[in-house]
Amino acid sequence: MTEQLEAPVADRALKAKHRAMWALGDYPAVATEIIPDLGEALVRASGVGPGHRVLDVAAGSGNAAIPAAATGASVVAGDLTPELFEAGRVLAARRGVEVDWQEADAEHLPYTNGEFDVVLSCVGVMFAPHHEDAARELTRVCRPGGTIGLLSWTPEGFIGEMFATMKPYAPPPPPGAQPPPLWGSEAHVRDLLGDRVTEVVARRRTVRVDHFARPEDFRDYFKANYGPTIAVYRAIAEGPDRVAALDRDLAELARRHDVGGPDHTVMEWEYLLLTGHRRG
């Protein structure tokens, strides 16, 4: 009995930690200033349209939920971190659309089987620590014949490399937690979805990021705004040498990926866009 009780308690503690991490900084700024087009790309690829009942899982401030609502769909935006919803409501109001914002854990979605026509996640569900649990929930709440659309950073792309760069400085992950960029591996996602999803189409694409003048500006922006980066820096705050080393490593990462000229940093960040249909 003790072992059965320990797992939920540990899970709640882990989820509380994740919620707090994504509330750090200003993720809505990252979504709207750095990667504003990703949600639109996912919505188009998933064929969202009028009359669809759509769930955006790990929706954040609505990068996919808001453009989905703009098509005339009825959209629920679920996220573990409701602190992000206020910015989402402001963005939705600017677009003149309505979105139903609901606190929801991607690994334990509070919805009935087959409730949605389309289930989306834009660089969101990939951060749920237990991949198989999240994948089962994605398919469970999608109706037979409905669409599942996922957009995730690849392990080999810039964000995947950023997480690999930060890993030596971060506390060890909890037992059973899997690295987020694995969701950017087509083989991994196909294995997660299994035979519950058919007609899978997977494409690797890149998003052009030209927001930063210098590699150091990228580093400083993510130190100030991106929850996972902020959390790593907090973990090493008492070690100035380690902070300086991570500063160098992140700036060098951006420098290696810079395809711009001497006066402006331009990077291409790779992601996997995968769609499929829930087996009937």
Domain count, the chain: 1
Rounded (5°) CA angle 179-165-81: 50
Tell me whether residue 248 is in a domain: no
Tell me whether residue 81 is in a domain: yes
| DSSP type of residue 108 | B
Tell me whether residue 135 is in a domain: yes
The residue type at 216:
E
Residue with tokens 């609502």: 69
Q: What interhelical angle do 215-225 and 240-257 show, nearest 10?
A: 120
pLDDT of the residue at 262: 83
> Over the stretch 51-91, which tens digit does the pLDDT of each residue have?
999 999 999 999 999 999 999 999 999 999 999 999 999 99
261 pLDDT tier (thresholds 50, 70, 90): confident
pLDDT of the residue at 189: 98
Question: Which range of residues forms the domain containing residue 200?
Answer: 2-208+267-278
Tell me whether residue 136 is in a domain: yes
Tell me whether residue 232 is in a domain: no
pLDDT of the residue at 241: 98
Check if the beta carbon of residue 81 is closer than 8 Å to that of residue 57: no
- Distance in angstroms (rounded) separating the CA atoms of residues 246 and 232: 9
Residue 15's domain is classified under what CATH number?
Answer: 3.40.50.150
225: closest CA among 237, 215, 233, 213? Answer: 233
- Mean pLDDT of all residues in 31-55: 98
275: which strand partners? 149, 201
Tell me whether residue 262 is in a domain: no
> Over the stretch 17-34, which tens digit does the pLDDT of each residue have?
999 999 999 999 999 999
* Cut 0.85: pTM above it: yes
Check if the beta carbon of residue 189 is closer than 8 Å to that of residue 272: yes
| The dihedral formed by the CA atoms of 274, 227, 102 and 173, expressed in degrees to the nearest 10 | 70
> Over the stretch 203-229, which tens digit does the pLDDT of each residue have?
999 999 999 999 999 999 999 999 999
The residue type at 256:
R
Tell me whether residue 227 is in a domain: no
Check if the beta carbon of residue 134 is closer than 8 Å to that of residue 128: yes
Tell me whether residue 104 is in a domain: yes
